[in-house]
C-alpha cells in the first residue's frame, strides 16, 4: 500500500486507434476491473474485469482489448473518441480504486516517447507513475490509518464532483481535501485525494 499524496497521476497513450493506460499501483495491488466512460455524458463505453496478463494486473491496460481480460462488456471502441475519457480501475478483493479524466485532444497533440505515457505533469514511464505512491508494507500497527484508492464521493454530505484517487481511511468522518467542480467540462482532467482525518 502507499502513503497518500496530494495528486496522483495516471498515464495514457493514444497510438492511432490503440488507447492504453497506466494506472498507478503498488506491488500488493492487483487490478480487478477497468471502466471507461465518456466524461461529459457519463455514458459507459467499456468495462472489463479479471486481467489475464501480469501487466494488466499491474495497471498497464490496452482499452477495448477483450483478449486481455476474462470478461468484458459488449461495448465496441467508438470510431471517434469523446472529448474527455474518464478511466478508472478497481482493485481485486477490495472496493478501492483509482482513475483519471483525460482530454483526448491534448493527449493526441502530445509527442510521447516510446515506453512512456502522457500525464498532466509531462511524459512518464510506468515505473515513475508507480513511484508516486511511496509504497510500503500493508502490515500496519493498530491505530494507524489504512491507505485507500477510492473513486467518487461516497459521503452524501460531500460536495458534488468531489473525486479522489488515493487517501487514508480512519474511523472519523470522511472529507474531501480538494473539491473539484461537479461538471467535468470545467475541469476535464482533475482528480484529487479523498481522506478521512485521523
Q: Over the stretch 100-142, which tens digit does the pLDDT of each residue have?
A: 999 999 999 999 999 999 999 999 999 999 999 888 654 433 3
Choose the CATH number for 11-131 among 3.40.50, 2.40.160, 1.10.287, 2.60.40.
2.60.40
| Alpha-carbon gap, residue 192 to 187, rounded angstroms | 12
Query: Position of cell 505515457?
Result: 117
Radius of gyration of the chain (CA): 16
pLDDT at 149: 39
Average pLDDT over residues 81-97: 93
Q: Which three cell numbers stand for residue 37?
A: 466512460
Whether pLDDT at 75 is above 60: yes
pLDDT at 92: 94
Which of 67, 72, 54, 58 is CA-nearest to residue 23?
A: 58
Per-residue pLDDT of 8-64, as tens digits, reads: 899 999 999 999 999 999 999 999 999 999 999 999 999 999 999 999 999 999 999
Lowest mean pLDDT among 26-35, 65-74, 84-93, 142-151: 142-151
Q: Please tell me which residue, 62 or 153, carries the higher pLDDT value.
A: 62
pLDDT at 134: 81
How far is Cα of residue 150 from the mean position of the Cα atoms in its chain?
9
pTM above 0.75, yes or no: no
Task: Domain ranges for the chain, please list them.
Answer: 11-131
Structural contact between residues 70 and 60, judged by C-beta atoms closer than 8 angstroms? no
DSSP state of 52: S
Amino acid at each position: 500500500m502507499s502513503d497518500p499524496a496530494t495528486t496522483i497521476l495516471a498515464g495514457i497513450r493514444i497510438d492511432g486507434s490503440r488507447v492504453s493506460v497506466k494506472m498507478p499501483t503498488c506491488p500488493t495491488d492487483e487490478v480487478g476491473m477497468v471502466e471507461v466512460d465518456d466524461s461529459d455524458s457519463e455514458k459507459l463505453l467499456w468495462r472489463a474485469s479479471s486481467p489475464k496478463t501480469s501487466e494488466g494486473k499491474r495497471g498497464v491496460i490496452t482499452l477495448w482489448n477483450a483478449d486481455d481480460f476474462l470478461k468484458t462488456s459488449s461495448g465496441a471502441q467508438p470510431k471517434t473518441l469523446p472529448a474527455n475519457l474518464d478511466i478508472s480501475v478497481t482493485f481485486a478483493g477490495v472496493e478501492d480504486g483509482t482513475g483519471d479524466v483525460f482530454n483526448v485532444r491534448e493527449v493526441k497533440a502530445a509527442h510521447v516517447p516510446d515506453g512512456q505515457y502522457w500525464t498532466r505533469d509531462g511524459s512518464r514511464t510506468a515505473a515513475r507513475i508507480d513511484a508516486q505512491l511511496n509504497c510500503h508494507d500493508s502490515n500496519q500497527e493498530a491505530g494507524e490509518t489504512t491507505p485507500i484508492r477510492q473513486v467518487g464521493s461516497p459521503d452524501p454530505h460531500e460536495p458534488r464532483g468531489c473525486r479522489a484517487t488515493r487517501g487514508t481511511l480512519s474511523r472519523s468522518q470522511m472529507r474531501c481535501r480538494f473539491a473539484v467542480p461537479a461538471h467535468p467540462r470545467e475541469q476535464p482532467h482533475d482528480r484529487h485525494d479523498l481522506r478521512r482525518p485521523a
